[in-house]
Amino acid sequence: MKKLTFIASVLFVLFCVTGNATAQSQNFSITNTTGMILIDVYISPNDANDWGSDVIPKDMILDGETFDFTFSGVEPSKCVWDIMFTAEDGMKYYMQDVDLCNTTTITLYKN
């Protein structure tokens, strides 16, 4: 009986650890439909004071181009994020209150 309880406890711990690790990592596709070349894209929680690192995998993203990336900052308690992107002309554009917990595809556009 002790052995069965021990095995059940180990399986429970493994399930919890694996579940938390998976819940914090998510794959996204971002498509540029701005009509411009983008030189950077930043994503941060909407209550953060800084933008963190650029998420594009190369120097620029052409209009109509899609890129994929894995983001590890999404948690069920923090779903609402903001996106800032810079066009080739130096102008910065923003998308606010994007729910990253319920999407895997993001389309960037000019307001």
Residue-wise pLDDT for 19-74, tens only, equals 444 446 788 899 999 999 999 999 998 899 999 889 998 899 999 999 998 877 77
**Domain 26-108 is of which CATH architecture?**
Sandwich (2.60)
Tokens at residue 104, please? 């895997």
Cα–Cα distance measured from residue 64 to residue 47, given in angstroms and rounded to the nearest whole number = 30
Q: What is the pLDDT of residue 30?
A: 93
Q: Compute and round to an integer the Cα radius of gyration of the chain.
A: 19
12-44 burial, b for 16+ CB within 10 Å, e for fewer?
eeeeeeeeeeeeeebebebbbebebebbbbbbb
Residues linked to residue 43 through DSSP beta bridges, in sequence order: 83
CA distances from 50 to 27, 31, 84, 103 (A): 22, 23, 11, 23
**pTM of the predicted model, to two decimals?**
0.73
Residue 61 contacts residue 38 (beta carbons within 8 Å)? yes
- Going from N- to C-terminal start, the domains of the chain cover 26-108
The tens digit of pLDDT for each residue in 72-106 reads 777 778 889 999 999 999 999 999 999 988 888 99
User: Which of 57, 54, 104, 108 has its CA nearest to residue 79?
Assistant: 104
